[in-house]
Structure 1
């Protein structure tokens, strides 16, 4: 089993991960994990743990992890939006076919304001994209 373990373990945190070096080559043949750094996905910073100096290999492994983690989080954000679109469709179907007057009264204002806010942002962003894509006449 110990041969299958990765050399580094990343304990996910809010903004990144605590990075551990995994050691199975010890006398007791136990798994030991030494914290070596904190990796921040938002700004790409790598902060060594304590007085430790990171090797070039450790820094490269952590930098690679940050890039892969950022890609995963970006993909999740887009997937969440696609799920939100599905959920909006389900809400529409609910409002049309199942909702009582009391239920609609409870949620209508909040939904209308949220949808108005979203529409305003989407229209503004679309206009900005269209304006930046137009060739300029100089």
Structure 2
């Protein structure tokens, strides 16, 4: 049998609920005791109830948080790269397949979204260039 991890992290919207996993009991059941709730965005770690987290708990939680942030960052980049692919596919669709009715249904929304994106990207690039010149 594979050894179970000592901690289990139930992912939530902004972090996770942290459980200590226990299989060392008389019934040989898997018991999960919630020890903390963590918030990835602000780095907050809240022990559950009156519990005091020891150094091992904190180290495991911090490691998980670092790994989770890296995973979420990688997913964000993947989503953006996919968005670029979708933009290219949308361009090809508009040029070669779209009917007039389909174009009428999406053109204004696409133009507004592209204008908004372009405005943000140009402003951010200008900010980076200004910072680099200072």
Deviates more, 1:6-15 or 1:70-79: 70-79
Structure 1 residues 5-24: aligned runs within 5 Å = 5-24=4-23
Q: How many residues align?
A: 134
1:21 is displaced (CA, Å) by: 0.3
Q: Deviations over 1:22-42 (max 9, x none)?
A: 001111111110000001100
Task: Please tell me whether residue 55 in structure 1 is matched to residue 61 in structure 2.
Answer: no
* Counterpart in the other structure of 1:100: 99
* Counterpart in the other structure of 1:120: 119
* Counterpart in the other structure of 2:72: 73
Q: Deviations over 1:76-129 (max 9, x none)?
A: 111100000000001001101110000000000000000001001101111111
Distance 2:44 2:62 in 1: 9
Q: TM-score, normalised by structure 2?
A: 0.97
Root mean square deviation, CA, Å: 0.8
Structure 2 SS opposite 1:4: coil
Task: Please tell me whether residue 27 in structure 1 is matched to residue 26 in structure 2.
Answer: yes
Distance 2:129 2:44 in 1: 35
Q: TM-score, normalised by structure 1?
A: 0.94
Q: Which runs of 5+ in 1 are unaligned?
A: none
List structure 1 runs of 4+ shifted beyond 2 angstroms. Answer: none
1:69 is displaced (CA, Å) by: 0.5
Q: Which runs of 5+ in 2 are unaligned?
A: none
Q: Deviations over 1:32-56 (max 9, x none)?
A: 1000000110011100011111111
